[in-house]
Amino acid sequence: MTSVARSIRTETLRMFVDGRWVGAETGETFPAVSPGSGQTIATVPKGTREDAAQAALAAYGARERMARLGAFERARLLHRMADAIERRREELAWWLTEDQGKPYLAEAVGEVGEAVEYFRIAAEDVKRLETSVIPSMSASKLVLTLRFPRGVYGVITPWNWPLTMACELIAPALAGGNTVVWTPAPSTSAISVKLTECLAEASPSVQLEST
């Protein structure tokens, strides 16, 4: 069993909206407190309905740009996101342990590894999405079905698996050419911001809004 060994320092975190790191429109914050140590590990913006509306508006405005990305280009994007998460595996495991309360670092590292795999799976699945050719009422014609992005996905995730439950929803949504507005559980906001940092690092132009 491996325990967490890292000094605690309080970080000031931000929301990611429209490609920028911002605070709440009210300026309010709340502390992210480690359930294990009781120490404050970060201060997090206290997002409002107005912040969520701004994120949704930005995601809606970017939906056509995201939809124009080809399947293989989206696959490369998701692999870069997986790479970014993998590079910060130990750091993310520490934040997961401190923010959510995973009892051992080994368990937290495992959840980070699952998050990586969700992005890799989505990246490969999107390359193999199939459409159908179905019979028409006219014997001389066939009907071809096509797949199109739906637009903006709203994702709300709970506290108990803050990485994997987010990634199993966000990764397929992005793979399908959609934009995402993500609201994580307040009690695991810090690790959620750290995950968003990885996704933003992988592509400055990706339209993921985290509030």
Q: Domain for residue 47, yes or no?
A: yes
Q: Domain for residue 159, yes or no?
A: yes
Alpha-carbon distance of 208 to 21, in angstroms, equals 12
Whether pTM exceeds 0.85: yes
Domain housing 170: 11-129+142-206
In tens digits, the chain (211 residues) has pLDDT values of 344 445 567 899 999 998 899 999 999 999 999 998 899 999 999 999 999 999 999 999 999 999 999 999 999 999 999 999 999 999 999 999 999 998 777 799 999 999 999 999 999 999 998 888 988 999 889 898 888 899 999 999 999 999 999 999 999 999 999 999 999 999 999 999 999 999 999 976 555 555 5
CATH code, domain with 105? 3.40.605.10
Distance of CA 140 to the CA centre of its chain: 46
Q: Total domain count for the chain? A: 1
Report the DSSP beta bridge partners of residue 29: 45
